[in-house]
Amino acid sequence: MHEAQFYTKLENNKVLCKLCPWDCKLETGQTGVCKVRTNVNGKLLTSVYNKVAVLGTDPIEKKPMYHFYPGRNILSIGEVGCNLHCSFCQNHRISQCYANEFAGFNNISSEKIVNEALKTWNNIGIAYTYNEPITFYEFMLDNAKLAHLNGLKNVVVSNGYINREPLKKLLPFIDAFNIDLKAFTNEFYIKQTKGKLEPVLNTLKTIAKGNAHLEITNLIIPNLNDDEREFEKMVVWISSELGEQTPLHLSRYFPQHKMNQPPTSINKLEILYDIAKQYLKHVYLGNVSDTKRTSTYCINCGELLIIRDKYKIETNGVDESGSCINCQTNNNIFL
Ligand code: SF4
């Protein structure tokens, strides 16, 4: 067990965790909503420091991340726990279990992870992903610092459910984020995730004001968050608050966890894609086979910049700085 950051001690050995918007007030022996932070005799401890549940190398497109070093690999780590409880979670076996229920941990130090990243072929750095990395904040932060010292990039794939102060402490060490914006109504967040919408919007605005690259994923679930007017409000907000060059991934839902309704229709995805394209320059469909709607085109001249055919990536349309080879326009691509 490792002492957590961002908590205050209260009367009678209680603690207040201030890492995420739950602001859990815990008596001794109690564990927070995230299932991995526990009050032990008036100290808040994390059960998952150095405890890696999943370690693998993925194409960066799988995060999904389309404008950040396309065609490269990224060493990816995950642990257990999550501070949202989504009925449709695609990783519920690791996200929705208590640390002390999980038998498959490997104790791996940051030094070992960084060494592994350095010797992995075509690898740009380390992604904190699979479960919610905010729940292993302390380990992620230490790991990210060491990764930067060794010239590696850090990528966070997150639900964005974090308080402002810990986010600001993390920002200087993270090069790119993919944040899930699960819907654009508080009602959806409360009912389907047990969280709230506003903290996620605040996280997105804070990241967009900083230096890190930002992409957004929106999982489209039939009849729950696919209302076209609601969706249009969301893309208008993304464009005006975060910038029209913010890449948006519209991901196809498949039945998972507590949700068993049929997958999102391709027709619905294409309708939402067309709406999003009215306001945003880079919109992609995910979990589908569609080279046209997964490739990148220049926002100025329309040149095909990056072809994506599943995980076969060709970046022939961009120069070394990530600009269009035809008209030199910046398309928010990092190479
Ligand atoms: S990080 Fe965990 S313990 Fe802390 S406030 Fe969030 S859910 Fe509660």
Q: Where are the domains of the chain?
A: 2-46, 51-293, 295-335
Q: How confident is the model at residue 312 (pLDDT cuts 50, 70, 90)?
A: confident
**Mean pLDDT calculated for residue range 18-40:** 97
* pLDDT greater at residue 35 or residue 91: 35
pLDDT for residue 1 is more than 90: no
pLDDT for residue 310 is more than 80: no
**Binding site membership of 82 for ligand 1 (Cβ less than 6 Å):** no
**Binding site membership of 19 for ligand 1 (Cβ less than 6 Å):** yes
3-state secondary structure of 55: strand
**Mean pLDDT calculated for residue range 202-226:** 97
- What is the rounded distance in angstroms from the CA atom of residue 52 to the CA atom of residue 107? 6
**Mean pLDDT calculated for residue range 101-109:** 90
pLDDT for residue 220 is more than 90: yes
3-state secondary structure of 186: helix
The overall average pLDDT reported for the chain is 96
Torsion sign across C-alpha atoms 250, 252, 256, 260: positive
- Kindly give the distance from the C-alpha atom of residue 20 to the centroid of ligand 1, in angstroms, as a whole number: 5
pLDDT reported for residue 260 = 87
Q: How confident is the model at residue 222 (pLDDT cuts 50, 70, 90)?
A: very high
pLDDT for residue 175 is more than 80: yes
The class that CATH gives domain 51-293 is alpha beta
Judge if the upstream peptide bond of residue 222 is cis by omega within 30 degrees of 0. Answer: no
Look at the block and give the residue holding tokens 């995980």.
311
Q: Residue 44: which residues within 8 A CB-CB, separation 6 or more?
A: 3, 4, 7, 15, 17, 26, 37, 38
Q: How confident is the model at residue 174 (pLDDT cuts 50, 70, 90)?
A: very high
- Kindly give the distance from the C-alpha atom of residue 295 to the centroid of ligand 1, in angstroms, as a whole number: 38
**Binding site membership of 38 for ligand 1 (Cβ less than 6 Å):** no
**How is residue 200 written in tokens?**
């996620």
- Kindly give the distance from the C-alpha atom of residue 25 to the centroid of ligand 1, in angstroms, as a whole number: 9
**Binding site membership of 37 for ligand 1 (Cβ less than 6 Å):** yes
pLDDT for residue 13 is more than 90: yes
Return the minimum-mean-pLDDT range out of 172-186, 247-261, 295-309. 247-261
Supply the residue whose CA is at minimum distance from atom 2 of ligand 1: 34
**Binding site membership of 22 for ligand 1 (Cβ less than 6 Å):** yes
- Kindly give the distance from the C-alpha atom of residue 31 to the centroid of ligand 1, in angstroms, as a whole number: 9
Written as one letter, the residue type at 110 is: S
What is the percentage of the chain residues whose pLDDT exceeds 90?
A: 90
Q: How confident is the model at residue 66 (pLDDT cuts 50, 70, 90)?
A: very high
pLDDT reported for residue 293 = 97
**Mean pLDDT calculated for residue range 252-273:** 93
**Mean pLDDT calculated for residue range 221-241:** 97
pLDDT for residue 100 is more than 90: no
**Binding site membership of 32 for ligand 1 (Cβ less than 6 Å):** yes
- Kindly give the distance from the C-alpha atom of residue 157 to the centroid of ligand 1, in angstroms, as a whole number: 18
**Binding site membership of 33 for ligand 1 (Cβ less than 6 Å):** yes
**How is residue 253 written in tokens?**
């839902």
**Mean pLDDT calculated for residue range 223-247:** 97
> What are the contacts of 27-32 at 24+ separation with CB within 8 A?
31/98, 32/83
Q: Which atom of ligand 1 is nearest to the CA of 37?
A: 3
pLDDT for residue 311 is more than 80: no
- Kindly give the distance from the C-alpha atom of residue 17 to the centroid of ligand 1, in angstroms, as a whole number: 6
pLDDT reported for residue 184 = 98
Got the DSSP string for 299-327? TTT--EEEEEETTEEE-TTB-TTSBBTTT
Other beta carbons less than 10 A from residue 150's beta carbon: 13
List C-alpha distances in Å: 331 to 134, 170, 282, 317: 29, 26, 9, 11
Q: Which atom of ligand 1 is nearest to the CA of 23?
A: 5
Q: Which atom of ligand 1 is nearest to the CA of 33?
A: 7
Q: Which atom of ligand 1 is nearest to the CA of 31?
A: 3
**Mean pLDDT calculated for residue range 219-245:** 97
**Mean pLDDT calculated for residue range 123-145:** 97
**Mean pLDDT calculated for residue range 269-273:** 98
Q: Are 181 and 218 in contact (CB under 8 A)?
A: yes
- Kindly give the distance from the C-alpha atom of residue 300 to the centroid of ligand 1, in angstroms, as a whole number: 44
Q: How confident is the model at residue 146 (pLDDT cuts 50, 70, 90)?
A: very high
- Kindly give the distance from the C-alpha atom of residue 7 to the centroid of ligand 1, in angstroms, as a whole number: 10
- Kindly give the distance from the C-alpha atom of residue 162 to the centroid of ligand 1, in angstroms, as a whole number: 9
pLDDT reported for residue 20 = 98
pLDDT reported for residue 96 = 85
Q: Cα Rg for the chain, rounded, in angstroms?
A: 20
Supply the residue whose CA is at minimum distance from atom 6 of ligand 1: 20
